[in-house]
């Protein structure tokens, strides 16, 4: 299976063609953001970030980062569990024009609906493969809210090249996570009968 190449800015048309199960490689400027940044972005819509995030991607990640002179370097950066962002993500997709949400573990109905409505996908990065993924981060362009939130929870603007991901929720209403959940629940009910 060939990996599909994706580039930032993401085009809605191309995103809507993706199917759950596709392997993709993403290149361009993306944003690492998790719990507290999601809360912040939805409490007050920020025009500066609306411009920056439009047709872009958010990566649920709290990296290990090192400062060398004036430059930051990302040493280790795997995904964090996305479900904690479920309450915020649909609004982030809508208000900031996000076309790809990257994380692990998948998300629920509210996000799946937003993916369909606004033309976006959920891309799974393999949890724990932080050294492998950090190799694909070629530059840190900026970091915001570092003082308030600390390294793991700041908003990081980074450039990635051929970032390896799996489409696990597409914009057609398909979710591998929903499928696996339903199948395993069915098996579970048989087992505990």
Partner 1 sequence: MKEKIDLVQVLVELYKMTSICLPEDVKEKIKQARENENSVLAKKVMESIEQNIEIAEKKQLPLCEDTGIPVFFIEIPKSFNHEEITERILKATEIATEKNYLRPNAVDSFTQKNSGNCIGKGIPTIYFEQKERTGIKFNLMLKGGGSENIGKTYSLPNTELNAGRDLDGIKKCVLDAVVKAQGLGCPPNIISIAVGGSKDVIAFESKKQLMEKLDKENENKEIREFERDLLEKINSLGIGPMGLQGKTTAFSVKTKFLARHPASFFVEVAFCCWADRRHSLEWKNGEAKYE
CB of 69: closest distance to partner 1 in angstroms?
A: 16
The DSSP element (H or E) to which 192 belongs, if any, is helix 176-192
- Is 38 an annotated catalytic residue? yes
CB of 148: closest distance to partner 1 in angstroms?
A: 9
Can you tell me the distance from the alpha carbon of 34 to that of 17, in angstroms, rounded to the nearest whole number? 27
Can you tell me the distance from the alpha carbon of 162 to that of 62, in angstroms, rounded to the nearest whole number? 20
Can you tell me the distance from the alpha carbon of 90 to that of 34, in angstroms, rounded to the nearest whole number? 14
Angle at 35 between CA 86 and CA 73, to 5 degrees: 130
CB of 51: closest distance to partner 1 in angstroms?
A: 28
Kindly name the residue from 34, 38, 108, 177 that is annotated as catalytic: 38
- Binding segment for partner 1 (CB under 8 A), chosen from 11-19, 41-49, 77-85, 155-163, is 77-85
The DSSP element (H or E) to which 12 belongs, if any, is helix 12-17
123 lies in the site for partner 1, by CB under 8 A: no
Interaction site with partner 1 (CB under 8 A): 1, 21, 23, 36, 61-64, 66, 75-78, 80-81, 83, 104-106, 124, 126-135, 149-153, 164, 166, 168, 176-177, 179-181, 183-185, 187-188, 191-192
Give me the active site residues, please: 38
């Amino acid at each position: 299976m060939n990996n599909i190449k994706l580039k930032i800015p993401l085009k809605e048309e191309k995103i809507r063609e993706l199917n759950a199960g596709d392997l993709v490689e993403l290149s361009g400027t993306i944003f690492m953001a998790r719990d507290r940044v999601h809360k912040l972005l939805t409490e007050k819509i920020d025009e500066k970030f609306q411009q920056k995030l439009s047709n872009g991607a958010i990566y649920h990640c709290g990296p290990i980062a090192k400062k060398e002179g004036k430059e930051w370097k990302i040493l280790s950066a795997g995904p964090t569990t996305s479900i904690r962002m479920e309450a915020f993500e649909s609004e982030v997709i809508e208000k900031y024009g996000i076309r790809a949400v990257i994380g692990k573990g998948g998300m629920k109905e509210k996000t799946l609906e937003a993916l369909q409505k606004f033309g976006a996908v959920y891309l799974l990065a393999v949890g724990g493969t932080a050294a492998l993924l950090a190799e694909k981060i070629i530059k840190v362009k900026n970091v915001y809210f570092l003082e308030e939130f600390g390294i793991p929870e700041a908003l990081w603007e980074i450039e990635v090249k051929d970032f390896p991901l799996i489409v696990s929720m597409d914009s057609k209403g398909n979710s591998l996570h929903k499928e696996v959940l339903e199948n395993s629940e069915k098996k579970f009910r048989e087992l505990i009968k």
